[in-house]
Structure 1
Amino acid sequence: MDIRQLRYFIAVAENLNFTEAANQLFIAQSSLSQRIAELERSLGVKLFKRNKRSVQLTSAGTVFLQEATDILQKYAEATERTRQADSGILGTLNIGFLGHSVNQFLPKLVKNFREDYPFITLKLDRYSHGRLNESLKNEELDIAFTSSFGLQNIPNLDLLKVYRDRSCVVVHQDHPLATRTKINMTELTEESFITLKRQVSPQAYDRFLKMCNDSGFSPSIVNQTSFLDTVLLLVEAGMGIAVMPKSVKTIANPGLRFLEIDGSVSQFDMVAAWKKSNPNPSISFFLKEIENFVADSTRNNAPLTMKL
């Protein structure tokens, strides 16, 4: 039994006339009769009652008509879904992100994508900076929203810029520097710093040390924590200051001040990153959604991150 035989059978069952069914199928009536006879032999039952004046379905034929119709429908659905999967319209995307960096754009981006591609399942999760880049490197993620610095050690990457971010000095509102809007790193030589532990975010930790060293001093680090919100808590408690991305302000309490660091060295990009060798065809659709989203935001003068 094959799909063609099922189509032939359904045509005869719906027309109850071999001649009309053969014309509909564009085959000779003799060929159609032969294929139906072969189908009946393979099933071991009679599907039609035939005489010179009429063709009728047997009780077995009536049951088989429903089953054959269902099979053809499932076959058509399976064929379409397989083609969609091959094109990427049907599939799954595993996406990782840094919590503070996506608050201003990811919810809307995901909503738009799900409306445009309802058959692509999105699996999203928040990661620490170090774990995010490691998961991208190990091909556990299809796409990662991450900082542009620290990616040079991951081979075979493609990047798509989402927005420009910059590092800021975070101080308590009562700190002597709190009234400033900009500051130079050289002014921080006597300050005490709160940082994330290096194993949590080796990229950010090493970048912070380099910024200090390039400014002529080695920072006095008085406390290291595993969580970004703890860094902010300790700064708010007056235990020290921190260097954080401007986007962190979206989750910070109003008692903290973010001072922009002078110079282009403080700037970096928030990017969507993916492995060039990743065969997932759905990636291209999500990247196109990002491009459209960024273009619309630029066109409407809607910043992806908040101003200081």
Structure 2
Amino acid sequence: MEIRQLRYFISVAEHLNFTQAAKRLFVAQPAVSQQIASLEKELGLKLFVRDKHSVQLTPAGKVFLHDAIEMLNRSEEAINKAKKAAIGEVGQLNIGFLYATVKNFLPALVRDFKEKYPHVQFSFNHYQTAQIIEKLRKDEVDIAFTLSFRPEDMAEWEYKTLVSQPYGVFMNKSHRLASRNCIPIIELAHEPLVMLDRKEAHHGYDHLITLFSNHGLIPNITTQTQRIETVLMLVEAGLGVAVLPKHLGVYANPSLRFIEIEEWQHTVEIVVAWKKTNSNPSIPLFLTELDSLNFKEVQNNIGLV
């Protein structure tokens, strides 16, 4: 049974006239008669009673009409859905993120996107930096919001810088240096540093070691832990200070301060990344929506402490 046959049958049933149905369909009348005859043969029953003066639906034709309309509607819906899926308006997007990088803009971004494309479904997963890289590589994540600590990996995917965040030092407000507006790097050389465990974020860890060594210093790392929330909790407890990008202040309690490091113009870029070989057509739509955001405002509101 073909969709064309259903359309021809429904048109004849609505007009009860083959000639008028043919005109409505913009085809010749014999073509309509041929398709109806073929449909009746395929079904093994008569759909119309015809004579020289009238055309009427048979009892079977009346029953079939209801189902034919439903089948045609479903087929058209399926075709439209497939067309939308081909251009990304129907589908699935898997988003991976570092919480601190997206807290100030992702909720509004997703809300606006869903208003435009309600048939795109999302899954969201919070990862560590190294995890996101692997998820991208394995096609388990379509779009990742992460940090640009690994430029050697960028050959595998496209990326776009959203904002740049300065490094500084987080410390308890009761710390002897907490009243400063900025601190020379030399004064941090002997301060106990709390850091993420190298196994959790080895590129970030190595990056910080390099930043210190560029100034002829070796950081005094006294504590390592597995989560950034724990790093800042230990800083709050007075067990040391933490040299981190400013946006991580979203995890900080009011008892902590973020202080800039004097003559230390190092930044980290917050990026959106996607694998070059990922053919998910919803990705360009999401990136277009992302482009509409005002990241100057995001920059001003990220990680204030």
TM-score bucket of the superposed structures, by smaller chain: over 0.9
- What is the aligned length? 305
Code of the residue aligned with 2:94 in structure 1: it is: N
Give the match's secondary structure for 1:270. strand
Give the match's secondary structure for 1:240. coil
CA distance in 1, matches of 2:198, 2:290: 31
Give the match's secondary structure for 1:284. helix
1:118 pairs with 2:115:
no
CA distance in 1, matches of 2:194, 2:299: 33
CA distance in 2, matches of 1:129, 1:80: 39
CA distance in 2, matches of 1:213, 1:171: 22
1:81-125 CA deviation, whole Å, 9 max, x = no partner?
A: 111111111111111111112111111111111112212112111
**1:264 CA drift (Å):** 5.6
1:305 pairs with 2:302:
yes
1:222 pairs with 2:222:
yes
Change (3 A) 1:143 1:302: closer
1:171-212 CA deviation, whole Å, 9 max, x = no partner?
A: 111111111122232221111111111121122111111112
Give the match's secondary structure for 2:67. helix
Superposition map of 1:163-202 within 5 A: 163-202=163-202
**1:33 CA drift (Å):** 1.7
Segment drifting more, 88-97 vs 155-164: 155-164
CA distance in 2, matches of 1:122, 1:304: 25
The question of whether the paired residues in 1 share the 8 Å contact of 2:250 and 2:304 is answered with no
CA distance in 2, matches of 1:304, 1:176: 27
Code of the residue aligned with 2:70 in structure 1: it is: D
Give the match's secondary structure for 1:153. helix
1:289 pairs with 2:280:
no
The question of whether the paired residues in 1 share the 8 Å contact of 2:194 and 2:223 is answered with yes
The question of whether the paired residues in 1 share the 8 Å contact of 2:96 and 2:126 is answered with yes
Change (3 A) 1:262 1:288: farther
The question of whether the paired residues in 2 share the 8 Å contact of 1:186 and 1:216 is answered with no
TM-score (norm 1): 0.93
Segment drifting more, 183-192 vs 36-45: 183-192
CA distance in 2, matches of 1:153, 1:127: 17
Query: What is the identity percentage for the equivalent residue pairs of Structure 1 and Structure 2?
Result: 43
CA distance in 2, matches of 1:172, 1:133: 32
CA distance in 1, matches of 2:115, 2:151: 31
Q: Which residue of 2 aligns with 1:131?
A: 131
**1:266 CA drift (Å):** 2.0
Code of the residue aligned with 2:227 in structure 1: it is: F
Code of the residue aligned with 2:269 in structure 1: it is: D
Q: Which residue of 1 aligns with 2:56?
A: 56
Question: What is the root-mean-square deviation of aligned Cα atoms in Å?
Answer: 1.8
Q: Which residue of 1 aligns with 2:85?
A: 85
**Dislocated runs of 4+, deviation >6 Å:** none
Superposition map of 1:28-47 within 5 A: 28-47=28-47
| Structure 2 unaligned blocks of 5 or more | none
**1:273 CA drift (Å):** 0.9
